[in-house]
Chains A and B, each alone.
Chain A
Amino acid sequence: MNAATQPRPQAPRDEAYNFAYLDEQTKRMIRRGLLKAVAIPGYQVPFGGREMPLPYGWGTGGMQLTAAILGAEDVLKVIDQGADDTTNAVSIRRFFARTAGVATTERTPEATIIQTRHRIPETPLHADQIMVYQVPIPEPLRFIEPSETETRTMHALNDYGVMHVKLYEDIATFGHIATAYAYPVTVDERYVMDPSPIPKFDNPKLDMSPALMLFGAGREKRLYAVPPFTRVTSLDFEDHPFDVQKWEHNCAICGSHESFLDELILDDQGTQSFVCSDTDYCAQRVSQGRAVQ
């Protein structure tokens, strides 16, 4: 086990900042929005997004939600494309360690709040956990309807016929539903929601999940939620049912055949290798002695 996966002791908080960076009024405002979002699963609630000390697109929406719900006792895990050790994940984790002084971890079962960019951990979540998603474009209808007033009306009137137009186009062009990420879902048989750009591999994990799922879009200033044990169904056609990605390979490090695999190109000859995208899941399997011989 390398140094990065060691549990981190609680860091001293930088007293120059308010707890978790945002001021208390802002956090209250976001919490009010979150209560509304939980009460109406899948509905996009506008909120007064604040400027964060990093650019839009780097997870400002997710960070504001995390800041609003973070408590001193929480244990924070941040992943970027499943990995704990990439720039975005490391800097957001350090940010909250410094401004809130909370404990951070890379172990999925130990975390109470998991902020994520585009993956749901392979290790099943439990009821005490909250997932916070960083969302670039919260509006699932945006690709076909540029007007915000029109998309709001469509949500209000349950007018979702156009969602299938995109899937139809996929089948007409590629012979199958080629949408591989940000695959639209219906939440609690009412609102159509963009589950942020998670791969559709993770869509089934949203359904009846025991963990609370919160979604925050910083640039668009919208947040939405999937409460625990909510039905989440992926849109599809009768003769082209929803299906997740499958790989012919196993993970080159831990040998897993169930997890979401990333393709690595090793040399100029195009030699491929496949490894787990969830680094914590992979490392745990290795430490349990499941490494590929």
Chain B
Amino acid sequence: MNAAQQIDRDAVSDRTQPLLKVRGLTKLYGPEKGCQDVSFELYPGEVLGIVGESGSGKSTLLSLLSGRCPPDRGVIDYRLADTHKNAGQWLDLYSASEAERRTLLRTEWGFVEQNPRDGLRMAVSAGANIGERLMAQGVRNYQALRAAGLDWLNQVEIDPARIDDLPRTFSGGMQQRLQIARNLVSGPRLVFMDEPTGGLDVSVQARLLDLMRGLVRELDLAVVIVTHDLAVARLLADRLMVMRRSHVVETGLTDQILDDPQHPYSQLLVSSVLQP
């Protein structure tokens, strides 16, 4: 067997194994407040959408998944990247140390906040925002940081001449794109997004979605995206989970759920979208 075939086979086995395994995840703030009994598997390069009304537990689920808040019950297993010292092993997120979780969050994972002000450092320039993860990983070469900054501004369609501008001089859409660049610069495998297009007007939303769709395919990212906008879900997500009152009421392929919803709540959700 030659080397190319070996790499091919490794790539195939990487893609056939899940990246994230979630079993019985529960966190309740009160009866049916929070999320309970969530189980799923996420594969490399797959985009999972979580939809549901406000208060249905979408964001709770996302903060449990991204290691920000320990669950009451349930296990999250993550398969470590080949570059990690324990390559290919499963890491139980909440029995790992906080140091390990943080390292994961700034290397193999990304988190795109709904409000870019929460995800960006507003007091430092765009270039420093993009370079922060690299600096945290030990890059100590200014030219390399600068080059990465310019490259990523280009990739998210921001004029590279604005590298030294503060994020507050950027428009909302640009801030959101900067936040995406800041997360993707470390080459993550898994990105969490909390309503990334919320608060943007429709035409800016469309551009951002277009950009995200391109990046997700190009970089082969696995994404967990929380949204209440079904159009966003249809455009980005491969699979959907519909949540209601802390339960997952329906899961399936995006088109299947949106075109042929089975659960009464999914039917209500789909039918309540205004058709222009």
Contact = CB atoms under 8 A, between A and B. Distances in A.
Nearest to B134: A161
Contacts of A238: 140-142
Contacts of A171: 142
B164 interface: yes
Interface string A162-180: 1011101101110000000
B128 A237 contact: no
B200 interface: no
B219 interface: no
- Give chain A's interface residue range (CB within 8 Å of chain B): 20 to 34
Given A153-B98, A239-B142, A239-B143, A169 B132 contact: no
A159 interface: yes
A165 B139 CA distance: 11
B162 to A, nearest CB: 12
A144 B146 CA distance: 20
A3 interface: no
Contact of A144 (B98, B99, B121): B121
A157 interface: yes
Nearest to A158: B99
B132 A172 contact: no
B128 A172 contact: yes
A237 B131 contact: no
A240 B132 contact: no
B273 interface: no
B140 A165 contact: no
Contact of A237 (B98, B140, B163): B140
Given A159-B102, A172-B125, A172-B127, A164 B135 contact: yes
Contacts, number: 61
Contacts of A237: 140-142
Interface string A145-164: 00000000100011111101
Interface residues of B, number: 24
Nearest to B127: A172
A172 B164 contact: yes
B135 A161 contact: yes
Interface string A198-242: 000000000000000000000000000000000000001111100
B129 to A, nearest CB: 8
Contact of B141 (A159, A169, A173, A239): A239
Given A144-B121, A172-B125, A172-B128, A161 B106 contact: yes
Contact of A162 (B127, B136, B146): B136
Interface in B117-152: 121, 123-125, 127-128, 131-133, 135-137, 140-143, 145-146
Contacts of B131: 165, 168
Nearest to B145: A168
Interface centre among A164, A169, A237 (most CB of B within 10 A): A164
Given A144-B124, A159-B102, A168 B141 contact: no
A161 B106 CA distance: 10
